[in-house]
Amino acid sequence: MPNLPNRAKRYDKADTREFHSLGEWKRASKAHKAQYPICQRCIFLGIETRESSRRLEVHHITQLEVDWDRRVDADNLLTVCRPCHRNYTLMENTGKREQSIAEGEEVRDYTQNNEGISF
């Protein structure tokens, strides 16, 4: 396991790349995809497509650089298809981080609390 930066250090892309190669992340990601085997954002938007259950990835609602302590927190994760993940990344990289977080939290709450959804 790498030496995790102390709380005073700002986490950067190198830290997150290293984290994504660790067993801790692989286990959390696999467990989340098992619980939500369809893109949570596609379900929320009502646009389920063939991609919605293929090439699934796990997205951090709040980026690791913002809150390292939530790196494996299930409430900070979404199962998303590759196109939806690209959309979140685009929002984050174009100055719309708050919008990305707000939508991610809304998607998470909807898919966790809506009993009509079957995964």
Q: 17: buried, middle or exposed (CB in 10 Å: 19+, 13-18, 0-12)? A: exposed
- Report pTM: 0.80
At position 6, the amino acid (one-letter code) is N
Q: Can you tell me the distance from the alpha carbon of 96 to that of 99, in angstroms, rounded to the nearest whole number?
A: 5
Question: In angstroms, how far is the first alpha carbon of the chain from the final one?
Answer: 33
Q: What is the pLDDT of residue 17?
A: 67
Q: Can you tell me the distance from the alpha carbon of 88 to that of 103, in angstroms, rounded to the nearest whole number?
A: 9
At position 5, the amino acid (one-letter code) is P
Among 49, 50, 112, which Cα is nearest to 77's? 112
Among 112, 57, 45, which Cα is nearest to 89's? 57
Confidence band, pLDDT 50/70/90 cuts, at residue 12: low
pLDDT digits 0-9 by tens, 83-116: 999 999 999 999 999 999 999 999 999 999 986 6
